Amino acid sequence: SGTPNGGLSPASFVVVANRLPVDRDIDEDGNSDWRTSPGGLVTALEPVLKSRAGAWVGWVGAPDEDLEPFTHDGMEIIPVPLSGVEVRDYYEGFSNGTLWPLYHDVVAHPEFHREWWDSYLKVNRRFADRAAEIADDGAVVWIQDYQLQLVPQMLRERRPDLKIGFFLHIPFPPTELFQQLPWRREILEGLLGADLVGFQINGGAQNFTRLVRQLAHYPTQRGSIELPDGRRVLARAYPISIQTQEFYDNARLPETAKRAEEIRHELGDPKYLFLGVDRLDYTKGIYQRLRAFGELISDGLLDAEDAVFVQVANPSRERVEEYKRLRDDIERLVGRLNGELGQLGRPPINYMHSFYPRDEMAALYRAADVMVVTPLRDGMNLVAKEYIACRQADDGALVLSEFAGAARELRQAYMINPYDINQMKERMLEAATDAPRNKARRMRILRRQVFEHDIDRWATNFLDDLGSCTRSR
Ligand code: G6P
Protein backbone atom coordinates (compact mmCIF):
# COMPACT_ATOMS: atom_id res chain seq x y z
CA SER A 1 0.00 0.00 0.00
CA GLY A 2 1.67 3.19 -1.15
CA THR A 3 1.32 6.53 0.54
CA PRO A 4 2.12 9.69 -1.39
CA ASN A 5 5.11 11.52 -0.03
CA GLY A 6 5.85 15.07 -1.02
CA GLY A 7 8.65 15.91 1.43
CA LEU A 8 11.31 13.33 0.71
CA SER A 9 13.94 12.69 3.31
CA PRO A 10 17.52 12.15 2.15
CA ALA A 11 18.47 8.48 1.88
CA SER A 12 21.68 6.96 3.20
CA PHE A 13 21.33 3.97 0.86
CA VAL A 14 20.10 4.29 -2.72
CA VAL A 15 19.50 1.58 -5.31
CA VAL A 16 19.33 2.69 -8.95
CA ALA A 17 17.91 0.15 -11.41
CA ASN A 18 16.05 0.29 -14.70
CA ARG A 19 12.96 -1.21 -13.07
CA LEU A 20 11.32 -0.23 -9.77
CA PRO A 21 10.91 -2.92 -7.08
CA VAL A 22 7.12 -2.55 -7.13
CA ASP A 23 4.33 -3.66 -9.48
CA ARG A 24 0.99 -1.97 -9.82
CA ASP A 25 -2.27 -3.74 -9.07
CA ILE A 26 -5.37 -2.19 -10.55
CA ASP A 27 -8.70 -3.30 -9.05
CA GLU A 28 -12.15 -3.31 -10.75
CA ASP A 29 -12.81 0.31 -9.74
CA GLY A 30 -9.61 1.40 -11.45
CA ASN A 31 -7.83 2.13 -8.15
CA SER A 32 -4.18 1.30 -8.23
CA ASP A 33 -2.09 -0.10 -5.44
CA TRP A 34 1.52 -1.23 -5.25
CA ARG A 35 2.95 -4.64 -4.53
CA THR A 36 6.62 -5.48 -3.92
CA SER A 37 7.97 -7.32 -6.99
CA PRO A 38 8.70 -11.00 -6.46
CA GLY A 39 12.27 -10.97 -7.89
CA GLY A 40 15.32 -12.09 -5.91
CA LEU A 41 17.22 -8.80 -6.11
CA VAL A 42 14.30 -6.91 -4.60
CA THR A 43 13.80 -9.46 -1.83
CA ALA A 44 17.50 -9.36 -0.98
CA LEU A 45 17.79 -5.58 -0.89
CA GLU A 46 14.49 -4.85 0.85
CA PRO A 47 15.81 -5.44 4.39
CA VAL A 48 18.87 -3.28 3.68
CA LEU A 49 16.65 -0.50 2.31
CA LYS A 50 14.33 -0.64 5.31
CA SER A 51 17.07 -0.61 7.91
CA ARG A 52 19.01 2.22 6.30
CA ALA A 53 16.27 4.67 5.25
CA GLY A 54 16.73 3.52 1.70
CA ALA A 55 15.43 4.75 -1.64
CA TRP A 56 15.02 2.98 -5.00
CA VAL A 57 15.25 4.97 -8.22
CA GLY A 58 13.72 3.24 -11.26
CA TRP A 59 11.27 3.15 -14.15
CA VAL A 60 7.69 2.00 -13.58
CA GLY A 61 7.72 -0.10 -16.77
CA ALA A 62 5.19 1.83 -18.87
CA PRO A 63 5.68 4.86 -21.15
CA ASP A 64 4.61 8.43 -20.40
CA GLU A 65 3.92 8.11 -16.69
CA ASP A 66 5.14 10.87 -14.44
CA LEU A 67 4.51 9.63 -10.91
CA GLU A 68 5.34 11.44 -7.67
CA PRO A 69 7.75 9.71 -5.32
CA PHE A 70 6.04 7.65 -2.61
CA THR A 71 6.84 5.36 0.29
CA HIS A 72 6.10 1.68 0.00
CA ASP A 73 6.69 -0.74 2.81
CA GLY A 74 9.46 1.33 4.35
CA MET A 75 11.23 2.15 1.06
CA GLU A 76 11.23 5.46 -0.77
CA ILE A 77 10.17 4.84 -4.35
CA ILE A 78 11.50 7.39 -6.85
CA PRO A 79 9.91 6.84 -10.28
CA VAL A 80 11.85 7.94 -13.36
CA PRO A 81 9.55 8.67 -16.32
CA LEU A 82 10.30 7.48 -19.86
CA SER A 83 8.50 8.79 -22.93
CA GLY A 84 7.29 6.42 -25.62
CA VAL A 85 10.23 7.42 -27.81
CA GLU A 86 12.65 6.76 -24.95
CA VAL A 87 11.16 3.31 -24.33
CA ARG A 88 11.83 2.62 -28.00
CA ASP A 89 15.32 4.14 -28.23
CA TYR A 90 16.84 3.74 -24.75
CA TYR A 91 15.15 0.52 -23.57
CA GLU A 92 14.20 -1.55 -26.63
CA GLY A 93 16.89 0.08 -28.76
CA PHE A 94 20.25 0.72 -27.13
CA SER A 95 19.76 -1.52 -24.07
CA ASN A 96 18.16 -4.51 -25.76
CA GLY A 97 19.01 -4.10 -29.46
CA THR A 98 22.65 -2.99 -29.01
CA LEU A 99 24.12 -3.86 -25.61
CA TRP A 100 22.23 -7.10 -24.89
CA PRO A 101 23.36 -8.99 -28.03
CA LEU A 102 26.84 -7.40 -27.96
CA TYR A 103 27.45 -8.47 -24.36
CA HIS A 104 26.08 -11.98 -25.04
CA ASP A 105 28.76 -13.03 -27.54
CA VAL A 106 26.83 -11.42 -30.46
CA VAL A 107 24.60 -14.53 -30.62
CA ALA A 108 22.22 -12.07 -32.29
CA HIS A 109 23.33 -9.14 -34.40
CA PRO A 110 23.75 -5.88 -32.41
CA GLU A 111 22.50 -2.72 -34.13
CA PHE A 112 24.31 0.57 -33.74
CA HIS A 113 22.16 3.68 -34.10
CA ARG A 114 23.18 7.17 -33.06
CA GLU A 115 19.63 8.14 -32.03
CA TRP A 116 19.55 5.14 -29.68
CA TRP A 117 22.81 6.25 -28.09
CA ASP A 118 21.55 9.82 -27.67
CA SER A 119 18.52 8.50 -25.86
CA TYR A 120 20.65 6.21 -23.64
CA LEU A 121 22.76 9.21 -22.67
CA LYS A 122 19.74 11.36 -21.89
CA VAL A 123 17.94 8.71 -19.85
CA ASN A 124 21.09 7.77 -17.90
CA ARG A 125 21.43 11.45 -17.00
CA ARG A 126 17.87 11.50 -15.70
CA PHE A 127 18.52 8.49 -13.45
CA ALA A 128 21.75 10.10 -12.19
CA ASP A 129 19.91 13.36 -11.43
CA ARG A 130 17.22 11.58 -9.39
CA ALA A 131 19.88 9.66 -7.44
CA ALA A 132 21.89 12.85 -6.82
CA GLU A 133 18.79 14.58 -5.42
CA ILE A 134 17.77 11.84 -3.00
CA ALA A 135 21.18 10.68 -1.69
CA ASP A 136 22.23 11.96 1.73
CA ASP A 137 25.77 13.24 2.42
CA GLY A 138 28.22 10.37 2.07
CA ALA A 139 25.45 7.92 1.15
CA VAL A 140 26.03 4.56 -0.51
CA VAL A 141 24.55 4.28 -4.01
CA TRP A 142 24.29 0.93 -5.78
CA ILE A 143 23.61 1.07 -9.54
CA GLN A 144 22.38 -2.07 -11.32
CA ASP A 145 23.03 -3.46 -14.78
CA TYR A 146 23.73 -2.66 -18.42
CA GLN A 147 20.89 -0.18 -18.91
CA LEU A 148 22.65 2.31 -16.60
CA GLN A 149 26.38 2.09 -17.28
CA LEU A 150 26.86 5.85 -17.57
CA VAL A 151 25.23 6.63 -14.23
CA PRO A 152 28.32 6.01 -12.03
CA GLN A 153 30.35 8.75 -13.72
CA MET A 154 27.42 11.17 -14.10
CA LEU A 155 26.62 10.77 -10.42
CA ARG A 156 30.21 11.20 -9.29
CA GLU A 157 30.50 14.48 -11.20
CA ARG A 158 27.56 15.87 -9.24
CA ARG A 159 28.20 14.16 -5.93
CA PRO A 160 31.87 13.33 -5.23
CA ASP A 161 30.94 12.66 -1.59
CA LEU A 162 29.05 9.43 -2.42
CA LYS A 163 30.23 5.83 -2.34
CA ILE A 164 29.23 4.39 -5.68
CA GLY A 165 28.90 0.71 -6.52
CA PHE A 166 27.89 -0.84 -9.83
CA PHE A 167 26.90 -4.43 -10.55
CA LEU A 168 26.59 -5.90 -14.05
CA HIS A 169 24.07 -8.76 -14.09
CA ILE A 170 24.95 -9.90 -17.62
CA PRO A 171 28.32 -11.02 -19.04
CA PHE A 172 31.03 -8.46 -19.70
CA PRO A 173 32.26 -9.37 -23.18
CA PRO A 174 35.79 -10.05 -24.43
CA THR A 175 37.52 -6.86 -25.55
CA GLU A 176 37.45 -7.98 -29.22
CA LEU A 177 33.65 -7.75 -29.17
CA PHE A 178 33.34 -4.71 -26.91
CA GLN A 179 35.57 -2.75 -29.31
CA GLN A 180 32.81 -2.84 -31.94
CA LEU A 181 30.86 -0.33 -29.90
CA PRO A 182 31.19 3.19 -31.35
CA TRP A 183 30.72 4.55 -27.79
CA ARG A 184 33.16 2.15 -26.12
CA ARG A 185 35.20 4.87 -24.46
CA GLU A 186 32.14 6.58 -23.00
CA ILE A 187 30.79 3.35 -21.52
CA LEU A 188 34.18 2.53 -20.04
CA GLU A 189 34.52 5.96 -18.41
CA GLY A 190 30.91 5.72 -17.25
CA LEU A 191 31.61 2.52 -15.32
CA LEU A 192 34.89 3.90 -13.92
CA GLY A 193 32.84 6.48 -12.05
CA ALA A 194 32.13 3.74 -9.50
CA ASP A 195 34.38 2.81 -6.56
CA LEU A 196 33.51 -0.86 -6.99
CA VAL A 197 32.44 -2.54 -10.24
CA GLY A 198 30.99 -6.02 -9.69
CA PHE A 199 30.68 -8.83 -12.23
CA GLN A 200 29.10 -12.30 -12.14
CA ILE A 201 32.34 -14.20 -12.76
CA ASN A 202 36.09 -13.58 -12.72
CA GLY A 203 36.22 -13.70 -16.50
CA GLY A 204 34.00 -10.60 -16.70
CA ALA A 205 36.15 -8.67 -14.25
CA GLN A 206 39.24 -9.70 -16.22
CA ASN A 207 37.72 -8.66 -19.56
CA PHE A 208 36.96 -5.30 -18.00
CA THR A 209 40.43 -4.62 -16.55
CA ARG A 210 42.05 -5.74 -19.80
CA LEU A 211 39.85 -3.29 -21.66
CA VAL A 212 40.83 -0.50 -19.26
CA ARG A 213 44.49 -1.14 -20.06
CA GLN A 214 43.99 -1.40 -23.81
CA LEU A 215 41.58 1.44 -24.33
CA ALA A 216 42.35 3.93 -21.58
CA HIS A 217 45.93 2.90 -20.74
CA TYR A 218 45.27 3.20 -17.01
CA PRO A 219 47.53 1.01 -14.88
CA THR A 220 45.82 -2.01 -13.31
CA GLN A 221 46.99 -4.48 -10.73
CA ARG A 222 44.82 -7.56 -10.36
CA GLY A 223 41.36 -6.04 -9.99
CA SER A 224 42.57 -2.62 -8.91
CA ILE A 225 42.58 0.24 -11.41
CA GLU A 226 44.41 3.52 -10.88
CA LEU A 227 42.87 6.56 -12.53
CA PRO A 228 44.85 9.67 -13.59
CA ASP A 229 43.43 11.67 -10.66
CA GLY A 230 44.73 9.05 -8.20
CA ARG A 231 41.33 7.51 -7.50
CA ARG A 232 41.15 3.71 -7.31
CA VAL A 233 38.43 1.51 -8.76
CA LEU A 234 38.02 -2.14 -7.83
CA ALA A 235 36.72 -4.73 -10.33
CA ARG A 236 35.66 -8.06 -8.79
CA ALA A 237 33.34 -11.01 -9.20
CA TYR A 238 30.25 -11.46 -7.02
CA PRO A 239 28.22 -14.42 -8.35
CA ILE A 240 24.57 -13.60 -7.71
CA SER A 241 22.25 -16.17 -6.18
CA ILE A 242 18.70 -16.70 -4.89
CA GLN A 243 16.76 -16.86 -1.61
CA THR A 244 17.62 -20.53 -1.32
CA GLN A 245 15.80 -21.25 1.94
CA GLU A 246 12.58 -19.60 0.73
CA PHE A 247 12.56 -21.69 -2.46
CA TYR A 248 13.19 -24.83 -0.44
CA ASP A 249 10.49 -24.06 2.13
CA ASN A 250 7.92 -23.22 -0.52
CA ALA A 251 8.66 -26.42 -2.44
CA ARG A 252 8.42 -28.45 0.79
CA LEU A 253 4.78 -27.51 1.47
CA PRO A 254 2.33 -30.43 1.26
CA GLU A 255 0.25 -28.55 -1.29
CA THR A 256 3.31 -28.17 -3.53
CA ALA A 257 4.02 -31.89 -3.28
CA LYS A 258 0.41 -32.62 -4.17
CA ARG A 259 0.47 -30.26 -7.13
CA ALA A 260 3.74 -31.81 -8.36
CA GLU A 261 2.09 -35.23 -8.41
CA GLU A 262 -0.94 -33.82 -10.20
CA ILE A 263 1.31 -32.30 -12.87
CA ARG A 264 3.02 -35.62 -13.52
CA HIS A 265 -0.32 -37.31 -13.74
CA GLU A 266 -1.74 -34.72 -16.13
CA LEU A 267 1.32 -35.30 -18.33
CA GLY A 268 0.52 -39.02 -18.49
CA ASP A 269 2.78 -40.20 -15.63
CA PRO A 270 5.97 -40.11 -17.72
CA LYS A 271 9.07 -41.97 -16.63
CA TYR A 272 11.22 -38.95 -17.51
CA LEU A 273 9.98 -35.39 -17.10
CA PHE A 274 12.38 -32.85 -18.64
CA LEU A 275 11.89 -29.17 -17.79
CA GLY A 276 13.05 -25.88 -19.30
CA VAL A 277 12.20 -22.50 -17.75
CA ASP A 278 13.38 -19.28 -19.38
CA ARG A 279 12.54 -15.79 -20.41
CA LEU A 280 11.85 -16.21 -24.12
CA ASP A 281 15.29 -14.94 -25.16
CA TYR A 282 17.64 -15.96 -27.98
CA THR A 283 20.52 -16.29 -25.52
CA LYS A 284 18.84 -19.18 -23.70
CA GLY A 285 19.38 -21.94 -26.28
CA ILE A 286 15.74 -23.05 -26.19
CA TYR A 287 15.70 -23.96 -29.88
CA GLN A 288 18.83 -26.12 -29.56
CA ARG A 289 17.57 -28.02 -26.53
CA LEU A 290 14.17 -28.79 -28.06
CA ARG A 291 15.83 -30.05 -31.21
CA ALA A 292 18.08 -32.30 -29.12
CA PHE A 293 15.07 -33.69 -27.27
CA GLY A 294 13.18 -34.22 -30.54
CA GLU A 295 16.10 -36.15 -31.99
CA LEU A 296 16.37 -38.35 -28.89
CA ILE A 297 12.80 -39.43 -29.60
CA SER A 298 13.09 -39.76 -33.37
CA ASP A 299 16.33 -41.75 -32.94
CA GLY A 300 14.45 -44.12 -30.64
CA LEU A 301 16.73 -43.36 -27.67
CA LEU A 302 13.78 -41.99 -25.73
CA ASP A 303 10.23 -43.23 -26.10
CA ALA A 304 7.49 -40.64 -26.57
CA GLU A 305 5.39 -42.92 -24.36
CA ASP A 306 7.51 -42.20 -21.32
CA ALA A 307 9.44 -38.97 -21.93
CA VAL A 308 7.92 -35.49 -21.84
CA PHE A 309 9.48 -32.04 -22.16
CA VAL A 310 7.81 -29.09 -20.44
CA GLN A 311 9.09 -25.75 -21.69
CA VAL A 312 7.92 -22.62 -19.86
CA ALA A 313 8.81 -19.50 -21.85
CA ASN A 314 8.10 -16.22 -20.07
CA PRO A 315 7.09 -13.48 -22.53
CA SER A 316 9.86 -10.88 -22.81
CA ARG A 317 10.70 -7.70 -24.80
CA GLU A 318 7.99 -8.56 -27.28
CA ARG A 319 8.34 -5.45 -29.40
CA VAL A 320 12.01 -6.08 -30.20
CA GLU A 321 12.41 -7.62 -33.67
CA GLU A 322 14.81 -10.44 -32.73
CA TYR A 323 12.44 -11.59 -29.99
CA LYS A 324 9.51 -11.78 -32.40
CA ARG A 325 11.59 -13.83 -34.79
CA LEU A 326 12.72 -16.16 -32.00
CA ARG A 327 9.16 -16.75 -30.87
CA ASP A 328 8.09 -17.67 -34.40
CA ASP A 329 11.06 -20.03 -34.79
CA ILE A 330 10.42 -21.84 -31.53
CA GLU A 331 6.69 -22.13 -32.00
CA ARG A 332 7.21 -23.53 -35.49
CA LEU A 333 9.71 -26.08 -34.14
CA VAL A 334 7.40 -27.16 -31.30
CA GLY A 335 4.53 -27.55 -33.75
CA ARG A 336 6.64 -29.59 -36.12
CA LEU A 337 8.08 -31.89 -33.42
CA ASN A 338 4.70 -32.50 -31.81
CA GLY A 339 3.17 -33.10 -35.21
CA GLU A 340 5.82 -35.63 -36.18
CA LEU A 341 6.47 -37.37 -32.89
CA GLY A 342 3.30 -37.04 -30.82
CA GLN A 343 0.32 -39.27 -30.44
CA LEU A 344 -3.27 -38.31 -29.79
CA GLY A 345 -3.39 -36.53 -26.44
CA ARG A 346 0.36 -37.06 -25.89
CA PRO A 347 2.46 -34.24 -27.34
CA PRO A 348 6.11 -34.85 -26.40
CA ILE A 349 6.64 -31.12 -25.86
CA ASN A 350 4.37 -29.05 -23.64
CA TYR A 351 5.17 -25.46 -24.48
CA MET A 352 3.77 -22.58 -22.45
CA HIS A 353 4.28 -18.97 -23.47
CA SER A 354 3.17 -17.32 -20.24
CA PHE A 355 4.03 -16.39 -16.67
CA TYR A 356 3.39 -18.83 -13.86
CA PRO A 357 2.91 -17.99 -10.21
CA ARG A 358 5.67 -18.90 -7.80
CA ASP A 359 3.77 -21.86 -6.32
CA GLU A 360 3.16 -23.46 -9.69
CA MET A 361 6.85 -23.01 -10.53
CA ALA A 362 7.85 -24.70 -7.26
CA ALA A 363 5.60 -27.65 -8.15
CA LEU A 364 7.11 -27.89 -11.64
CA TYR A 365 10.65 -27.82 -10.26
CA ARG A 366 9.72 -30.54 -7.78
CA ALA A 367 8.10 -32.65 -10.45
CA ALA A 368 10.99 -32.49 -12.94
CA ASP A 369 13.48 -35.36 -13.24
CA VAL A 370 15.86 -33.42 -15.45
CA MET A 371 16.24 -29.64 -15.51
CA VAL A 372 17.64 -28.50 -18.86
CA VAL A 373 19.51 -25.17 -18.83
CA THR A 374 21.34 -24.63 -22.13
CA PRO A 375 22.11 -20.93 -22.73
CA LEU A 376 24.49 -19.93 -25.52
CA ARG A 377 25.67 -17.25 -23.10
CA ASP A 378 24.25 -16.21 -19.74
CA GLY A 379 25.51 -13.89 -17.00
CA MET A 380 24.54 -16.34 -14.25
CA ASN A 381 21.23 -18.23 -14.78
CA LEU A 382 19.21 -18.40 -11.60
CA VAL A 383 16.77 -21.03 -12.89
CA ALA A 384 19.52 -23.62 -12.41
CA LYS A 385 19.87 -22.56 -8.77
CA GLU A 386 16.11 -22.47 -8.22
CA TYR A 387 15.75 -26.07 -9.38
CA ILE A 388 18.47 -27.20 -6.98
CA ALA A 389 16.96 -25.22 -4.10
CA CYS A 390 13.58 -26.90 -4.65
CA ARG A 391 15.00 -30.45 -4.31
CA GLN A 392 13.77 -32.14 -1.15
CA ALA A 393 16.34 -34.93 -1.36
CA ASP A 394 19.51 -35.68 -3.31
CA ASP A 395 17.64 -36.57 -6.47
CA GLY A 396 16.91 -35.03 -9.86
CA ALA A 397 19.52 -33.91 -12.37
CA LEU A 398 20.71 -30.62 -13.81
CA VAL A 399 21.93 -30.35 -17.40
CA LEU A 400 23.86 -27.09 -17.60
CA SER A 401 25.60 -25.13 -20.32
CA GLU A 402 29.24 -24.32 -19.74
CA PHE A 403 28.41 -20.85 -21.13
CA ALA A 404 26.26 -19.92 -18.12
CA GLY A 405 27.97 -18.04 -15.29
CA ALA A 406 26.42 -20.63 -12.96
CA ALA A 407 28.67 -23.33 -14.48
CA ARG A 408 31.60 -21.90 -12.47
CA GLU A 409 29.89 -22.81 -9.21
CA LEU A 410 27.65 -25.74 -10.19
CA ARG A 411 30.44 -27.98 -11.37
CA GLN A 412 28.61 -31.20 -10.52
CA ALA A 413 25.94 -30.57 -13.15
CA TYR A 414 25.81 -32.64 -16.35
CA MET A 415 27.76 -30.06 -18.34
CA ILE A 416 27.12 -29.42 -22.03
CA ASN A 417 28.19 -27.24 -24.92
CA PRO A 418 24.89 -26.06 -26.43
CA TYR A 419 26.48 -25.77 -29.87
CA ASP A 420 27.27 -29.50 -29.82
CA ILE A 421 23.93 -31.18 -30.39
CA ASN A 422 25.26 -34.74 -30.20
CA GLN A 423 26.89 -34.09 -26.85
CA MET A 424 23.72 -32.39 -25.61
CA LYS A 425 21.68 -35.47 -26.58
CA GLU A 426 24.11 -37.80 -24.83
CA ARG A 427 24.17 -35.76 -21.64
CA MET A 428 20.38 -35.32 -21.52
CA LEU A 429 19.99 -39.06 -21.86
CA GLU A 430 22.68 -39.71 -19.27
CA ALA A 431 21.08 -37.25 -16.83
CA ALA A 432 17.74 -39.03 -17.21
CA THR A 433 18.98 -42.60 -16.94
CA ASP A 434 22.00 -42.32 -14.62
CA ALA A 435 22.06 -44.56 -11.53
CA PRO A 436 20.35 -42.92 -8.54
CA ARG A 437 23.55 -43.02 -6.52
CA ASN A 438 25.40 -41.04 -9.24
CA LYS A 439 22.66 -38.45 -9.30
CA ALA A 440 22.69 -38.28 -5.51
CA ARG A 441 26.43 -37.71 -5.36
CA ARG A 442 26.13 -34.78 -7.76
CA MET A 443 23.00 -33.28 -6.24
CA ARG A 444 24.35 -33.39 -2.68
CA ILE A 445 27.26 -31.15 -3.66
CA LEU A 446 25.09 -28.86 -5.78
CA ARG A 447 22.62 -28.36 -2.94
CA ARG A 448 25.36 -27.56 -0.46
CA GLN A 449 26.78 -24.97 -2.86
CA VAL A 450 23.44 -23.20 -3.39
CA PHE A 451 22.52 -23.25 0.32
CA GLU A 452 25.87 -21.83 1.38
CA HIS A 453 25.89 -19.11 -1.27
CA ASP A 454 22.50 -17.41 -1.21
CA ILE A 455 21.59 -13.92 -2.33
CA ASP A 456 21.87 -12.39 1.14
CA ARG A 457 25.49 -13.43 1.19
CA TRP A 458 25.94 -11.92 -2.29
CA ALA A 459 24.52 -8.55 -1.22
CA THR A 460 26.48 -8.53 2.04
CA ASN A 461 29.76 -9.33 0.26
CA PHE A 462 29.27 -6.57 -2.27
CA LEU A 463 28.15 -3.96 0.23
CA ASP A 464 30.92 -4.84 2.72
CA ASP A 465 33.54 -4.42 0.00
CA LEU A 466 31.96 -1.17 -1.15
CA GLY A 467 31.95 0.02 2.45
CA SER A 468 35.69 -0.58 2.75
CA CYS A 469 36.58 1.33 -0.43
CA THR A 470 38.40 4.43 0.73
CA ARG A 471 36.62 7.69 0.08
CA SER A 472 38.20 9.46 -2.84
CA ARG A 473 37.82 13.07 -1.83
C1 G6P B 1 17.92 -9.70 -17.25
C2 G6P B 1 18.60 -8.38 -16.97
C3 G6P B 1 17.76 -7.50 -16.06
C4 G6P B 1 16.36 -7.40 -16.61
C5 G6P B 1 15.74 -8.78 -16.83
C6 G6P B 1 14.34 -8.73 -17.44
O7 G6P B 1 17.93 -10.50 -16.11
O8 G6P B 1 19.88 -8.57 -16.42
O9 G6P B 1 18.33 -6.22 -15.95
O10 G6P B 1 15.55 -6.63 -15.76
O11 G6P B 1 16.59 -9.51 -17.69
O12 G6P B 1 14.33 -7.99 -18.62
P13 G6P B 1 13.45 -6.68 -18.81
O14 G6P B 1 13.93 -6.08 -20.08
O15 G6P B 1 12.04 -7.14 -18.88
O16 G6P B 1 13.67 -5.78 -17.62
For ligand 1, whether the C-beta of 145 sits within 6 Å is yes
Mean pLDDT score, 226-245: 97
Ligand 1 center to 329 CA (angstroms): 22
Mean pLDDT score, 241-245: 95
Among 195, 281, 378, 454, the active-site one is 378
Q: At what angle do helices 254-266 and 244-252 cross, to 10 degrees?
A: 70
The CA distances from residue 265 to 187, 284, 368, in Å, are 52, 28, 12
From the CA of 146, give the closest atom in ligand 1.
Answer: 9
Check residue 7 and give its pLDDT: 64
Atom 8 of ligand 1: nearest residue by CA position: 169
Question: Is the CB of residue 390 less than 8 Å from the CB of residue 365?
Answer: yes
In degrees and rounded to multiples of 5, residue 295 shows phi and psi of: -70, -35
Read off the pLDDT band of 25 (50, 70, 90): confident
Mean pLDDT score, 23-45: 87
Tell me: the pLDDT tens digits for 175-213? 999 999 999 999 999 999 999 999 999 999 999 999 999
Question: Is the CB of residue 348 less than 8 Å from the CB of residue 305?
Answer: no
Mean pLDDT score, 233-242: 97
What is the average pLDDT score of the chain?
95
Question: Is the CB of residue 362 less than 8 Å from the CB of residue 256?
Answer: yes
The CA distances from residue 335 to 222, 274, 297, 350, in Å, are 51, 18, 15, 10
From the CA of 144, give the closest atom in ligand 1.
Answer: 9
Please say if the pLDDT value at position 471 is more than 70: no
Ligand 1 center to 231 CA (angstroms): 31
Q: At what angle do helices 184-191 and 151-158 cross, to 10 degrees?
A: 60
Question: Is the CB of residue 117 less than 8 Å from the CB of residue 149?
Answer: no
Read off the pLDDT band of 39 (50, 70, 90): confident
- CA atoms in the 13 A half-sphere facing the CB of 338: 18
State yes or no: is 353 an active-site residue.
Answer: no
For ligand 1, whether the C-beta of 314 sits within 6 Å is no
For ligand 1, whether the C-beta of 317 sits within 6 Å is yes
* Type and span of the H or E element at 207: helix 202-211
For ligand 1, whether the C-beta of 453 sits within 6 Å is no
Atom 14 of ligand 1: nearest residue by CA position: 317
State yes or no: is 249 an active-site residue.
Answer: no
Alpha helices in 399-472 (DSSP H): 421-433, 436-452, 455-467
Burial of 314 (0-12, 13-18, 19+ CB in 10 A): middle
**How many residues can be counted in the chain?**
473
Residue 401, beta-bridge partner list:
416
Among 89, 104, 145, 169, the active-site one is 169
For ligand 1, whether the C-beta of 454 sits within 6 Å is no
Tell me: the pLDDT tens digits for 249-258? 999 999 999 9
Mean pLDDT score, 35-52: 86
Ligand 1 center to 221 CA (angstroms): 32
Please say if the pLDDT value at position 40 is more than 80: no
Tell me: the pLDDT tens digits for 404-420? 999 999 999 999 999 99
Tell me: the pLDDT tens digits for 3-21? 444 567 899 999 999 999 9
Mean pLDDT score, 210-217: 97
- CA atoms in the 13 A half-sphere facing the CB of 321: 8
Atom 16 of ligand 1: nearest residue by CA position: 19
Tell me: the pLDDT tens digits for 272-282? 999 999 999 99
From the CA of 91, give the closest atom in ligand 1.
Answer: 14
Rounded Cα–Cα distance for residues 399 and 412 (Å):
10
Alpha helices in 267-414 (DSSP H): 286-298, 321-341, 358-367, 382-390
